[in-house]
Amino acid sequence: MLKEIKKYFERITNSKRRKKVRAAYKRLREAQKLADERLRKMKEKGIARTIVKKRHIMEMVFLFLMFTSALNAPFVRVNYDLTEYLPEYATSKQAINLMEEQFGYPGTARIMIENVSIYEAFMYKQMIEDVDTVDTVTWMKRDVFMGEDFLRMNNERDYYKDRCAVMDITFEEGDSADETKIAIGKIQKLLGDKGKFSGPAVENKSLEETLASEIRLIMAAAVVFILIILILTTNSWAEPFLFLSVMGVAILLNMGSNLFLGTISFMSHSVAAVLQLATSMDYSVFLLHTYIRLLHEHPEDKDKAMVCAIEESAVPILSSAMTTFVGFMALLIMRFGLGRDVGLVLGKSIICSVITVLLLMPALLLRFGDLIDKTKHKEIMPSFKQTAKFVYKMRYAALVLMIFLAIPCYVAQSMNHFTFGNSALGKSIGTKVYTDTAEIEERFGRSNLYLLMVPNETPIRERALADEVENLYFVKSVTALSKILPVGIPESIVPGSIISKLRTDRYTRMLVYTKTESESPLAFETCAKLEQIMKKYYPDDSYIVGNTPSTIDVKELMVPDYTKVNILSLIAVGIVVGIAFHSVLLPILVLIPINVATFLNMTIPYLSAESFMFNGFIVVSCIQLGATVDYSILLTNNYMFNRERGIERKKAALDALQRSILSIITSGLILTIAGYGVYKISSVDAISSLGHLIGRGGFLSMLMVIFGVPALLTVFDKWIFKEKELKAKWIEKRMIKKQAALEKGGDADDADEKEK
């Protein structure tokens, strides 16, 4: 504020006005000196000095926290069922809750037994039914002892042909339950090489086993590649290991503190650690470089240099962290709970990183400072002087390219082919589940389970509903109590254990298998048709449960959520940037290249006809904005620093580029490598595509910032300083009013109130 008033004072020529402004400036300068003196005294006894003075205690505290987190991390439960994140008011969620209350919500699987006769298949069916927690096994409707030729005449080829039998299994527990996984393991052992397995329960089991092994491999690969990048971009062989050690502690703290959330999603579990490593590394770099610079000024007093380094780097670290944090926090407004889960875990990772860097890293720097000095080496990376000249030369082409890409890419990104449900998770290309599913569907077609739950009224109406549903062309089979018993036979002769699976005092349940997959336009149509028929017989208190109804609700919730999350994240990050620069125009200029890069990133899958999960689309948008806007802020800050010192536009831009490119490339490559590491290693499509988007997004943002920000800053330079001049005039007006009020014996606060 003082600097802006002084510059404005130097520009005005009216002597009377200069006198008033001089008086206002003098009073403000005296107030500023008093505030600086108070701040200096506070710093002498402040947090930074306490951190340095108590560094040994800090080390012990973090050692305890690491030990506690290491004990907590294995007990964090990971959820693989997307229906768990449906809000309570969603129709499918209400149906699931009622189903669990009345009957339990069953897991489902589909198995194909190869090279067996009908009679052998029947024996296997009986053995599978005897496995603990297996509820029902749906196979042929006819008696297998009627003769194979007769069976073919009765349309049983949906269940047996070419010496292969296919069976649909429901379990007493859900798809993700441990009991269901154990039962699947027993069935796999029972069938051996003869068995082929598919279905939601099998996919969940495969997903858990796959991610458990792949996450460790992803982290190991990320650490190796990031280490190489840090070695190339730092001046000491020890610095990269220090950075990774600090980030390792922060990651461990975040993983252990997930225990307080109870359960986290498979998506958070898969990418949180590698994204924390990629997005938070800058904080360590800020502190280390500030400390090394100040150590040259105070070589005799390392503690004093560290105190000053903490005080000086705290603001850029917190500012950088805040932009990333608010980007993640925007996910909390999603009605679909998966976004809130990812937002909380990633947001917490930023907090853990900042705390670790500001509290633990100073102690480690003072402890290992001599090692860093001893392992110094020459700079490996070039000065980027020629690169800066090339970028400045191409500034207008970059501006035209951004304008050309913005609108088409914004439109194209919403035209991607998205998936929404659980079916996109477990059976990814290359996995055994995918291969088995393809073989089963090639021979017997697809199978999808619906559970119809209707009020327990008359068996006649129930049978009529079951008959009409069974006659639909896309229905394979219907299991209902009214169809099991011939007309006129009382239910009292049926064992209670069987009745309880299909009927309670309030509701009766039907199992309907259709010939569709769980997520497709045809599946959505068949679901609507089933619901229409059900409502015809039972207009009230009737529900349809299954993967398809849940997927429909997920889609209806998430598509509107994207617009809200995108707007909120832009506003939140824009406010943080605006506060940092005390400007309205600069946040807009800073965010333009990032948004164009995001639109382009999401357009590429459309052009290449790829499909990916919509929740990944939302998450990546927030990650790319929050994690890469720092690149724009750094370049803009260096440019504005030069311009405020009076350096003309071209030289200011060239110098800003030369000083910023290395930091931008380092951060951008780390995010890119981390994302592509996930993409290349993970065999789970939902996780792999998420990594691909993050890696490509980081690379595109890096390029857009390097080429686009200088173009925007130089083109809008006059408007930027026009805004500053208007601000200075506003400050002058306020100060003159306060001065006038004081000269008249009034109160400056009263003047402010009158102005308001």
Do both 259 and 320 map to the same domain? yes
**Could you tell me the pTM of the whole model?**
0.80
Sign of CA dihedral 432, 221, 705, 591: positive
User: Which amino acid is located at 326 in the chain?
Assistant: V
Give me 129's structure tokens. 């039914």
Return d(Cα 663, Cα 620) in angstroms, integer. Answer: 22
The domain tally of the chain equals: 5
Residue 578 forms part of a structural domain: yes
Q: Which run of H or of E encompasses 264?
A: strand 263-265
From residue 525, alpha-carbon distances to 243, 419, 486, 514, 558 in Å are 54, 16, 32, 12, 20
Strand extents, DSSP E, 522-672? 543-546, 611-613
Residue 213 forms part of a structural domain: no
Do both 408 and 441 map to the same domain? no
By CB atoms closer than 10 A (0-12, 13-18, 19+), residue 743 is: exposed
The CATH number of residue 65's host domain is 1.20.1640.10
Exposure of 387 in the CB half-sphere (CA atoms within 13 A): 15
Could you report the per-residue pLDDT of 74-104, keeping only the tens digit for each?
Answer: 898 888 887 888 888 888 888 888 888 888 7
Do both 599 and 684 map to the same domain? yes
End-to-end CA distance of the chain: 20
> Which segments of the chain have a pLDDT < 70?
1-45, 141-156, 422-430, 485-498, 728, 731-732, 735, 738-756
User: Which amino acid is located at 418 in the chain?
Assistant: F
Residue 220 forms part of a structural domain: no
Do both 601 and 641 map to the same domain? yes
Paired with 195 in beta bridges are: 113
Do both 441 and 519 map to the same domain? yes
Tokens 């459309």 belong to which residue?
Answer: 606
Strand extents, DSSP E, 92-215? 108-113, 134-138, 160-161, 164-171, 195-198
Three-class DSSP labels, 414-441: CCCEEECCHHHCCCCCCCHHHHHHHHHH
Do both 608 and 486 map to the same domain? no
From the list 714, 561, 592, the residue with the least C-alpha distance to 642 is 714
3-state secondary structure of 446: coil
pLDDT at 254: 93
DSSP classification of residue 475: E
* Number of separate helices (H) and strands (E) present in the chain: 28, 13
Return d(Cα 219, Cα 237) in angstroms, integer. Answer: 21
Sign of CA dihedral 576, 570, 326, 625: negative
Return d(Cα 330, Cα 570) in angstroms, integer. Answer: 9
Return d(Cα 500, Cα 716) in angstroms, integer. Answer: 73
Helix axes 685-715, 614-644, angle to 10 degrees: 30
Do both 675 and 746 map to the same domain? no
Residue 87 forms part of a structural domain: no
3-state secondary structure of 514: strand
The rounded radius of gyration (Å) of the Cα atoms in the chain is 33
Do both 709 and 725 map to the same domain? no
Return d(Cα 359, Cα 51) in angstroms, integer. Answer: 6
Return d(Cα 685, Cα 214) in angstroms, integer. Answer: 13
3-state secondary structure of 639: helix
pLDDT at 359: 92
DSSP classification of residue 117: -
The CATH number of residue 482's host domain is 3.30.70
Domain that residue 644 falls in = 384-421+565-715
Residue 654 forms part of a structural domain: yes
* The domain boundary residue, chosen from 552, 574, 593: 552
User: Which amino acid is located at 653 in the chain?
Assistant: A
Phi, psi of 583 (to 5 degrees): -150, 155
CA 16 to chain centre: 59
On whether the CB atoms of residues 141 and 477 are closer than 8 A, the answer is yes
From the list 555, 527, 542, the residue with the least C-alpha distance to 450 is 527
Tokens 């798809």 belong to which residue?
Answer: 175
Give me 330's structure tokens. 């925007």
Residue 88 forms part of a structural domain: no
Could you report the per-residue pLDDT of 119-132, keeping only the tens digit for each?
Answer: 888 889 889 988 98
Do both 617 and 529 map to the same domain? no
Residue 571 forms part of a structural domain: yes
Three-class DSSP labels, 648-700: CHHHHHHHHHHHHHHHHHHHHHHHHHHHHHHHHHCCCHHHHHHHHHHHHHHHH
Return d(Cα 137, Cα 125) in angstroms, integer. Answer: 7
From residue 331, alpha-carbon distances to 13, 37, 82, 573, 575 in Å are 52, 42, 16, 13, 17
Give me 518's structure tokens. 């769980």
pLDDT at 144: 53
* The domain boundary residue, chosen from 501, 527, 552: 552
Do both 325 and 453 map to the same domain? no
By DSSP bridging, strand 611-613 and strand 417-419 are parallel
On whether the CB atoms of residues 700 and 595 are closer than 8 A, the answer is no
The H-assigned helical ranges of 45-117 are 47-53, 55-72, 91-102
Residue 63, C-beta contacts closer than 8 angstroms, at least 6 positions apart: none
3-state secondary structure of 132: coil
On whether the CB atoms of residues 331 and 622 are closer than 8 A, the answer is yes
From the list 263, 310, 307, 256, the residue with the least C-alpha distance to 283 is 310
Return d(Cα 550, Cα 573) in angstroms, integer. Answer: 33
Strand extents, DSSP E, 468-506? 475-479
pLDDT at 235: 81
* The domain boundary residue, chosen from 205, 222, 254: 205
From the list 530, 508, 510, 533, the residue with the least C-alpha distance to 458 is 508
Residue 372 forms part of a structural domain: yes
What b/e readout covers 240-276, taking b as 16+ CB neighbours within 10 angstroms?
bbbbbebbbbbbbbbbbbbbeeeebbbbbbbbbbbbb
Do both 368 and 463 map to the same domain? no
Do both 535 and 479 map to the same domain? yes
pLDDT at 751: 47
Exposure of 150 in the CB half-sphere (CA atoms within 13 A): 7
By CB atoms closer than 10 A (0-12, 13-18, 19+), residue 393 is: exposed
Give me 644's structure tokens. 């405020």
